[in-house]
Amino acid sequence: MPTLKDIRVRIKGVKSTQQVTKAMKMVAAAKLRRAQERAVMARPYARKLKEMLGSLSAKVDTSRNPMLSPRSEVNKVLVILITADRGLCGAFNTNAIKLASKIIHEDYPALHSKGGVSLICAGSRGFDFFRKREYKIVKGYSAVFQHLDFSTAKEIADIASGMYLRGEVDRVLVAYNEFKSVLAPNLREEVILPIAPETSGKESSSDYIYEPSPSAIIDELVPKHLNTQIWRMMLESSAAEQAARMSAMDSATENAKELMRTLNISYNRARQAAITTELSEIVSGADALSN
């Protein structure tokens, strides 16, 4: 049975932990606001760029652009995994890693057994997980979300598009956490190469004149679209990470509060038992002296 000193030490430790988790929750809440603003601001541009690409694709032969043309056979796959650089954010990293593992082992098991699945890991957690298990990693990025920059997204897009154009991979997928709300991140799996243009669903009645030509504009838009989509996904993941960390630290703070309540009850009971024992010993001693 723990002594009163043991319980006091544990109460002090839990209280210190509660102060840390509460501070981390406040920091995550402040970072979440900025990350959410960046993610929300990136969405309209990425969406409109995709719609514009879809509108132009309907007017030209997309087979001329290799990044718009699906391969007849998929023999090699590249998975871009976006995770966090740090932990203490609940199941955020675990869920993204599980999704990437599902893609590798369940969606493309035959390719994986032949070494046809490779990875690009943005974020230390995912990179460390797959590196230790000796997966085929083309490029790993650590500490990327401490100073998130567009150049990183562009570098990832350049590597993926270069491998696709050289025929080193036939499909490129991204596994990431999309920011939906503070309490409900949305785990996503998206194919970014070959690009499947989407139209807005509304046929335009206007006939535009394109300069220099629709095909030339498409050739210019495709790399911009790829850069923008990966940048948007990284921003979404950053916002989802801060939301997950804030939620996890809030739960940890509440758990510490409940644990302190339980420890205080145990401490009071142990103290009461010690006092009762001392009183019994005093009464027994007094009775022995009177006799």
The string of pLDDT tens digits covering residues 204-229 is 545 667 777 778 888 888 999 999 99
Q: What is the pTM of this model?
A: 0.86
Give the pLDDT band (50/70/90) at residue 198: low
Check if 121 is active-site.
no
pLDDT at 205: 47
The full DSSP string for the chain is: ---HHHHHHHHHHHHHHHHHHHHHHHHHHHHHHHHHHHHHHHHHHHHHHHHHHHHHHTTS-GGGSGGGS--SS---EEEEEE--SS--STTHHHHHHHHHHHIIIIISHHHHHTT-EEEEEESHHHHHHHHHTT--EEEEESSTTTT--HHHHHHHHHHHHHHHHTTS-SEEEEEEEEP--SS--EEEEEEEES------S---S--PPPSS-HHHHHHHHHHHHHHHHHHHHHHHHHHHHHHHHHHHHHHHHHHHHHHHHHHHHHHHHHHHHHHHHHHHHHHHHHHHHH-
Choose the catalytic residue: 89, 103, 192, 239: 89
250 or 52: which leads in pLDDT = 250
Q: Which CATH superfamily is domain 21-200+209-249 in?
A: ATP synthase, F1 complex, gamma subunit (3.40.1380.10)
> What are the residue ranges spanned by the domains of the chain?
21-200+209-249
pLDDT reading at 63 higher than 80: no
